[in-house]
Amino acid sequence: MESSHRSVTEVLAAAKLAAPLLAAAAGELRTKAIEAIADSLIERTPEIIAANSQDLEAGRAAGLDAALLDRLLLDEARIEGMASGARAVAHLADPIGEVLEESTLANGLRLRKVRRPLGVVCVVYEARPNVTIDAAVLCLRAGSAAVLRGSSMAARSNEVLARVAAEAVEAAGLPAASVSLVAGGDRDELEQLGGAEGIIDLIIPRGGEGLKKALEVVAKVPVIFAASGNCHVYVDAAADLEMATRIIVNAKVQRPGVCNAAESLLVHQSVAGDFLPLALAALAAEGVELRCDGRAAALAGSTIKVIPATDEDFATEFLSPVISVGVVDSLDQAIDHIQRNGSGHSEAIITADSAAADAFQTRVDAAVVYVNASTRFTDGAEFGMGAEIGISTQKLHARGPIGLRELTTYSWLVNGDGQIRG
């Protein structure tokens, strides 16, 4: 493994040399390498947990909150999940060489649009060490070398996971530098990665707005931002209120520290009186802090503690058991609110009115727009894509889960019989 003990320049040079070898490798060999990673994760679970325990201990000492510690945690179940996700990616159809389009021109030229690897993909991420494996196996399956840069809070976990992956890849017959790790935590590293023109073909930052802004300043290579998720659930006038309660509790509580968790609840004024006492009580029972606008607070009842919401609350990705709650007068007002405050990640409407559902899905500009379902489903594995690197809130070149095909490019292959252009 090209690790944090080497300079960024050395790591990038090794990855650049590995990339064409990896791109030329047969799909069966890449499958074998990813399966070897999955096997090694299970075999070396005690080693991984021991390293992760040190990161958790350091995190507690540094005062990390419960949501961040949860994102950092690796236990047997999560390692098994990582291995299962790797195996799922290993057995996805090989994208390299896939013919996307083909045609023959009037002059006899035969055109094929063929999928091929990007080359060197750098993934910069915070807190979650599972991204080390997700990114490595997706890049490998897509025929690209992975350069990984995690955060200092997960340094020990990332180090052991990257070592497990690189050693498995090398044992399978591919270059060890197909999976590389730089230390993480140093802004100078970020600047070097962002400025690595001609070496890195794509950077994907997976983290909060701070990471996004830091990379925007220094990036000279293409970037797809897997950025924040200020996700909304809107309960429409025609909503099934029991369904809506189940969905908002799941969307907020099931795992509050992730980007597809709901951060804001909007309720149509015609059902707010019936819905909010039930929904707020259910959320409060799960330990969720309720930041309500005036109309929502008035409907909460005397036994439910609420905090007055500010404009900033409605624009905030909390990543914790906190939710902003507001009452709106119409579907139009709900959509306007989401367009002003949302981050383009995942938005949901709960309604039995098909016209309202259609209007919401047509007019809300987000990567994923739900009708009658939790925002927590925005995930590459849930979408049948295997693992994912993150959720893109951009419009080019990928949007939504960044999975296998989003990590490839294509070439036009043109065959002729001596044609010249007149």
Any idea what the Cα angle at residue 224 is, between residues 220 and 228, rounded to 5°? 120
Q: How many helices (H) and strands (E) does the chain have?
A: 15, 16
Nearest in space to 163 (alpha carbons), one of 129, 186, 139: 129
CATH number for the domain including 328? 3.40.309.10
pLDDT at residue 122 tops 80: yes
221 shares its domain with 236: no
**CA distances, 70 to each of 67, 86, 421 (Å):** 5, 21, 62
In a domain, 383, yes or no: no
What was the pLDDT predicted at 226?
82
Structural domain includes residue 422? no
Burial (Cβ within 10 Å: 0-12, 13-18, ≥19) of residue 412: exposed
Predicted pLDDT at 184: 67
Three-state SS string over 217-235 comes to: HHCCCCECCECCCCEEEEE
Task: Determine, yes or no, domain membership for 351.
Answer: yes
Report the sign of the C-alpha dihedral through residues 363, 385, 159, 222, in that order. Answer: negative
Tell me whether residue 421 is in a domain.
Answer: no
Give yes or no for residue 3 having a pLDDT over 50.
no
Mean pLDDT of the chain: 94
On whether both 19 and 131 belong to a single domain, the answer is yes
Residues 114 and 258 in one domain: no
Which of 183-187, 238-242, 320-324 is least confident? 183-187
Mean pLDDT of 324-338: 98
Are 202 and 263 found together in one domain?
no
Q: What pLDDT digit, counting tens, does each position of 209-235 carry? A: 788 888 889 999 999 988 789 999 999
pLDDT in tens, 41-93: 999 999 999 999 999 999 999 999 887 898 899 999 999 999 998 998 999 99
The pLDDT value recorded for residue 185 is 62
Which residue did the predictor score with more confidence, 163 or 381?
163
Check whether residue 192 and residue 122 sit in a common domain. Answer: yes
pLDDT per residue as tens digits for the range 409-418: 999 999 999 9
Answer yes or no: is 3 within a domain: no
- Residues in a beta bridge with 231: 262
> In this structure, are 219 and 343 located in the same domain?
no
Give me the domain span that covers residue 301. 231-377
Please report whether residue 270 resides in a domain. yes
Shared-domain flag, residues 178 and 281: no
- Mean pLDDT value of segment 195-205: 95
Q: With a cut of 80, say whether residue 314 has pLDDT above it.
A: yes
Same domain membership, residue 303 and residue 220: no
Predicted structure pTM score: 0.85
Domains held by the chain: number = 2
* Lookup: tokens for 24: 């030329």
Q: Is the pLDDT of residue 113 over 90?
A: yes
- Quick one: 50 and 133 in the same domain? yes
pLDDT exceeds cutoff 90 at 109: yes
Evaluate whether residue 162 is within a structural domain.
yes
Could you read off the pLDDT of 130-163 as tens digits, one per residue? 999 999 999 999 999 999 999 899 999 999 999 9
Q: Are both 368 and 405 inside the same structural domain?
A: no
Percentage of the chain surpassing pLDDT 90? 84
384 part of a folded domain: no
pLDDT at 361: 98
The C-alpha atoms of residue 188 and residue 8 are separated, in whole angstroms, by 10
Q: How far is 422 from 401, CA to CA, in rounded Å?
A: 45
Q: How far is CA 84 from CA 39, 87, 125, 354, in A?
A: 10, 5, 21, 38
CATH of the domain at 213: 3.40.605.10
What does the pLDDT read at residue 207?
77
Give the per-residue pLDDT at 390: 86
Q: Output 405 or 247, whichever has higher pLDDT.
A: 247
Given phi > 0 = left and psi -120 to 50 = alpha, else beta, which region is 302? Answer: alpha
198/133 same-domain check: yes
Residues 239 and 219 in one domain: no
What integer pLDDT is reported at residue 56 of this predicted model? 97
Whether 2 has a pLDDT exceeding 80, the answer reads no
